[in-house]
Amino acid sequence: MLKVAVATLGCKVNQCESAGISETLAVRGMTLVPFEEEADCYIINTCTVTGRTDYQSRQLIRRAIKRNPAAVVLVTGCYAQRAPEEIARIPGVGIVVGNAEKSRLSDLIRELSEGIAPEIHVGDIRSEKRFSSLGAASFPDHTRAFLKIQDGCDAFCSYCIVPRARGASRSLRPVEVEEGIASLASEGYREVVLTGIHLGAYGRDLIPTTDLEAMVRSVTEAHLVERLRLSSIEPREVTDELISLIESSGVVCRHLHIPLQSGDDGILAAMNRNYDAAFFRDLIRKVHTAVPDIAVGIDVIAGFPGETETAFVNTIRLVEGLPVAYLHVFPYSRRPGTPAAAMPDQVPEIEKKRRAEQLRRIGTAKRQAFAERFIGTPLAVLIEGRKEKSTGFSIGFSDNYIPVACGTACDANRIVRVMPGSFRNGRLIGEVIQE
């Protein structure tokens, strides 16, 4: 029986697809083993959003080859889609598979083992019209399930390689979304996270067209799952209706991740973002007015080409004044083929690193301040399977995305009410008051 190991880098969409790939391989009679073990085939599902993720992908590839030089090494994902020849030149790589061909991985593994598969199997992703969900029925070691409902992006931000690696926006039909959520709930999942490359574009490509709000409203009205969480949504796509659903449904988690990228209008224009700093500030305030306890996370890029010290200070001032719960900070990474890669006034690496560290310090303080607001306030916490190593405490997340550790022993995959009493090591600490 063929032993296969899968490693994943990057976003929740990649993670969702890897779970579906693993499930398909198991159904086809292959045995899944941890990536750290010897296998007959290694699959590396790569990311290419930054130069660092390219490097990490190559590290995993070489680690697999070293672990078993006789193994089939199959590389897929966004790095494989963007630079298939570059990956194929790595000695020991057996096959490179593009994003549109991921659904054929099990067939390609068997073909390669028989010596008949091509070395590179990567098509023109921008011409791809089909939506391939690669949906998984279960997510081992997770109490939250993920459902990919959208793929691709048509925004073409000047720094971003993703539209070239993921193709045009395509959506899962609403009936299949509802079936997918219902199926995951029937497997015992209390929370489903809806994921996509450009989630807010959901439904625009369908006939008839629809939108994210209509789909979310339909899911909540059908009571398909206890909790529904949304992954990243662009600022212009956080509509009044979506905010209202979060405020009133009792199902949609009080959590939004909204990319900011910069707080300087000149840099936002150079990035090809479709809003300015004032719009973003007003949006976050509107969200918090409607849903005061919501966790809003933001992405920020440090050191975009042309970002002067004044432009960076504008970002700092905006971020410091926003009622956000956390920051994801990325030093700008020059991506081949993007407009930003050819822009003048590239910021030195050491300066990008300094700016990123300053933003991360703000993010750490924001995360703690947000969590400490809820000391003494009961929170509904979904308990995960893992426990805190140092204390043995059960760990979970509130619906507004606060990590919580509770001293009371709790079974995984239960939603319990916890009274937080303190904040330590990045999480609230409390006791269960109601199961």
What kind of architecture, by CATH, is found in domain 126-253?
Answer: 2-Layer Sandwich (3.30)
Partners of 73 in the beta sheet?
42
Strand order in the sheet with 191-196: 170-171, 144-151, 191-196, 227-230
Residue 184 CA to residue 162 CA, distance in Å, equals 28
324 pLDDT band, cuts 50/70/90, is very high
User: Would you tell me how many other CB atoms lie within 10 Å of the CB of residue 350?
Assistant: 9
Q: How far apart are alpha carbons 276 and 318 in whole angstroms?
A: 11
Q: Looking at residue 417, what is its pLDDT?
A: 96
Whole-number Å distance between alpha carbons of 156 and 11: 18
Residue 54 has a pLDDT of 97
Q: What is the mean pLDDT of residues 45-64?
A: 97
Q: What is the secondary structure of 360-407 as a DSSP string? A: HHHHHHHHHHHHHTTTTS-EEEEEEEEE-TTT--EEEEETT--EEEES
Same fold flag, 126-253 and 265-273+280-373? yes
Torsion of CA 90, 96, 99, 103, to 10 degrees: -140
pLDDT for position 115: 60
Alpha-carbon torsion (98, 154, 196, 209), positive or negative: negative
Residue 165, pLDDT above cutoff 90: yes
CATH number of the structural domain 3-123: 3.40.50.12160
% of the chain beyond a pLDDT of 70: 98
Question: Which are the contacts of 104, defined by CB distance < 8 A and separation ≥ 6?
Answer: 97, 121
Which tokens hold the place of 97? 């598979």
Q: What's the confidence (pLDDT) of residue 113?
A: 61
H and E: helices and strands count for the chain: 13, 18
Q: Which CATH class name applies to 265-273+280-373?
A: alpha beta
Say which DSSP state 254 is in. Answer: S
Give φ, ψ of 49 to 5 degrees. Answer: -65, -25
Each domain of the chain, given as residue ranges in start order, spans: 3-123, 126-253, 265-273+280-373, 379-434
**131-158: pLDDT as tens digits:** 988 877 778 778 899 999 999 999 999 9
pLDDT digits (tens, 9 = 90+) for 106-126: 888 877 666 655 589 999 999
pLDDT confidence of 173, banded at 50, 70, 90? Answer: very high
DSSP 167-223: -S-EE--HHHHHHHHHHHHHTT-SEEEEEETTGGGTTTTSSS---HHHHHHHHHHHT
Cα torsion through 409, 413, 414, 420, rounded to 10 = 60
Q: What is the pTM of this model?
A: 0.94
Residue 178: pLDDT band with limits 50, 70, 90:
very high
- Cα distances (angstroms) measured from residue 325 to each of 238, 288, 296, 363, 395: 17, 11, 5, 8, 19
Homologous superfamily of domain range 379-434: Nucleic acid-binding proteins (2.40.50.140)
- DSSP letter at 261 equals B
Give the mean pLDDT of the chain: 94
Please check the confidence at residue 305 and state whether its pLDDT lies above 60.
yes
Contact 268, 261 (CB under 8 A): yes
